[in-house]
Amino acid sequence: QYLSGNEIRQTFLDFFAQRGHKILPSASLVPEDPTVLLTIAGMLPFKPIFLGQRTAEVPRATTSQKCIRTNDIENVGRTVRHHTFFEMLGNFSFGDYFKEQAIAWAWELSTETFGLPPERLIVSVFEEDDEAFAIWRDKIGIPPHRIKRMGKDDNFWVSGPTGPCGPCSEMYYDFHPELGDDNIDLEDGSRFIEYYNLVFMQYNRDVEGNLTPLQSKNIDTGMGLERMAQILQKVPNNYETDLIFPIIKTAAEIAGIDYTQADEKTKISLKVIGDHVRAVVHMIADEIRASNIGRGYVLRRLIRRVVRHGRLIGIEGEFITKVAESAIALSEAAYPNVRQREAQIKAELQREENQFLKTLDRGEKLLAEIIQKALVGQASRLSSSGQDAHPTTEISGRDAFTLYDTYGFPFELTQEIAAEQGLTVDTASYEAAMEEQQTRSKEAHETIDLTVQGSLDKLAEHIHATEFLGYTQPLSQSIVE
């Protein structure tokens, strides 16, 4: 019998507790660090310690940290391994043990405790980190050709332009060892999955970029819980682990779909729903509320993507609270605050879903027309200007703004739907329209309507002058009701 996600989490924490680490609870998704919108890694709550701004209460700690990475949103459902919401398991040393011990425990945990076959593991090191290379080769016994030296983009961690930094070493699992060891490409997601990253914080970087060794060296690590679950549960992707699949099943049932029989596009929508519902449940439990700025906007955008993907797979009407129930049930053992806040979570989700459904219908029709016209315009420009012409495949920023302002379509949603048709959206003119509106709403307190209309017209002129439209009539005039 395979380990469940909850068992994997506990096994990791117990392993490090037995080795002198204090188990600390996950911090909130809302970080104390004001420079970051959401908690993106297990180390974030410890950043002040690593930066020397706070002293550690214990020399060693271990956590399972809730994380949200919006930079991975486009990967959700498309790669086997990326989520917006995931849990990062970590072991941390604050000036205590260092590289050799961190590597030795990572190896013992992987191969003995979790039982991964050593011949299936591949590691990367920073290209200049001969010390880590030697530890993997001589102390652990990994054949040198399975230790990959990588550049600083992937394997050097910095917290900012100055401050503590250092090389890292990543562990990968090989799903297809039968393909052999020639041509190993760790970027190949169909063969390898990165599951554990060890950061060796050993330098301080000054303003000139000079690295000096730190007196007190630190260890920061991160293991993706969902990724380890995929490996151990022998399922094709993170989404089909017991941590997420029940949510997907609930959504599929509501849509009357059999996941195993579904086509690729439907599966992606179901995975997006599975991922995002987990994310929004935890965000609301951590007291984030939907709005048009900051984290509130991330929350709103995620909820709206859930609703839209629900419609793509044929769900009519409200469904998000039902799916949320299954996400709440899945996470309550590890995160009791989710069950405690169940009422608020459902109320917030229902309110947002309702509001969005009301405008979605009209907005979707409008966007379909806009896209249609853009495609027709593109076709006619192509035929009138010959084969060599580079087609302008843009939706105007003004239309995107109308969709946002009147129909509640987040800009990224318009971009995403447009991209499905091979179209891009003019970001600059969208931003101009947005800025204009902000000025307008400020002015609205002081001026009368006529003046406001005047500045609107000026904006329209400005946009028309700087943008090739391909039509005689401005789009938004002809389409907006």
The span from the CA of 23 to the CA of 17, in Å, is 6
Using the Cα atoms of residue 268, residue 272, residue 2 and residue 88 in order, give the sign of their dihedral.
positive
**Cβ distance to Mg ion smaller for residue 49 or 193:** 193
Q: Which residues contact 231 (CB under 8 A, 6 or more apart)?
A: 116, 173, 193, 195
Contact region for ligand ATP (CB under 6 A) — 17-25, 77-85, 300-308, 435-443?
A: 77-85
d(CA 455, CA 367): 26
Please identify, among the stretches 49-57, 188-196, 343-351, 403-411, the one whose residues bind ligand ATP according to the rule CB under 6 A: 188-196
Among Mg ion, ligand ATP, none, what binds residue 173 when CB lies within 5 to 8 Å by partner kind? none
Under the binding rule (CB under 6 A), the answer on residue 200 touching ligand ATP is no
Binding to ligand ATP by CB under 6 A, coded x per residue (else -) over 163-182, reads: --------------------
Q: Which stretch binds Mg ion (CB under 5 A): 188-196, 247-255, 378-386, 407-415?
A: 188-196
Count other C-beta atoms under 10 Å from residue 211's C-beta: 12
Q: Does 227 bind ligand ATP (CB under 6 A)?
A: yes
Binding window for ligand ATP (CB under 6 A); candidates: 79-87, 108-116, 118-126, 284-292: 79-87
Does 69 bind ligand ATP (CB under 6 A)? Our answer is yes
Question: Is residue 305 within the footprint of ligand ATP (CB under 6 A)?
Answer: no
- 26: contact with Mg ion by CB under 5 A: no
With CB under 6 A as the contact rule, the residue among 12, 13, 72, 413 that binds ligand ATP is 72
Count, residues near Mg ion per rule CB under 5 A: 3
Closest approach of Cβ 99 to Mg ion, in Å? 16
Question: Helix, strand or coil for residue 293?
Answer: coil
- Closest separation between CB of residue 88 and Mg ion, Å? 11
Q: What is the largest CA-CA distance in the chain?
A: 78
197 binds Mg ion (CB under 5 A): yes
- Ordered DSSP codes for 186-250: TT-TTTEEEEEEEEEEEEEE-TT--EEEEEEEEEEEEEEHHHHHHHHHT-SSGGGSTTTHHHHHH
DSSP lists the bridge partners of residue 197 as: 170, 222
User: Counting contacts by CB under 6 A, is residue 346 touching ligand ATP?
Assistant: no
| Under 8 Å between Cβ of 305 and 276 | yes
On the CB side of 414, CA atoms within 13 Å amount to 29
CB of 75 to Mg ion, least distance (A): 8
The helix (run of H) or strand (run of E) holding residue 168 is strand 163-174
Long-range (24+ apart) CB contacts under 8 A made by 205-208 are 205/158, 205/161, 205/162, 205/163, 205/164, 205/165, 206/162, 207/161, 207/162
Which of residues 170 and 226 has its CB atom nearest to Mg ion in the complex? 170
Residue 261's CB is within 10 A of a number of other CB atoms, namely: 8
Q: According to the binding rule CB under 6 A, does residue 12 interact with ligand ATP?
A: no
Which residue's CB is nearer to Mg ion, number 56 or number 73?
Answer: 73
Q: Sketch the per residue contact string, 126 through 165, with Mg ion: x for CB under 5 A, - otherwise.
A: ----------------------------------------
- Total residues at interface with ligand ATP (CB under 6 A): 16
Question: Which residues here bind Mg ion, judged by CB under 5 A?
Answer: 170, 194, 197
Question: Which residues here bind ligand ATP, judged by CB under 6 A?
Answer: 69, 72, 81-83, 86, 88, 194-197, 222-224, 226-227
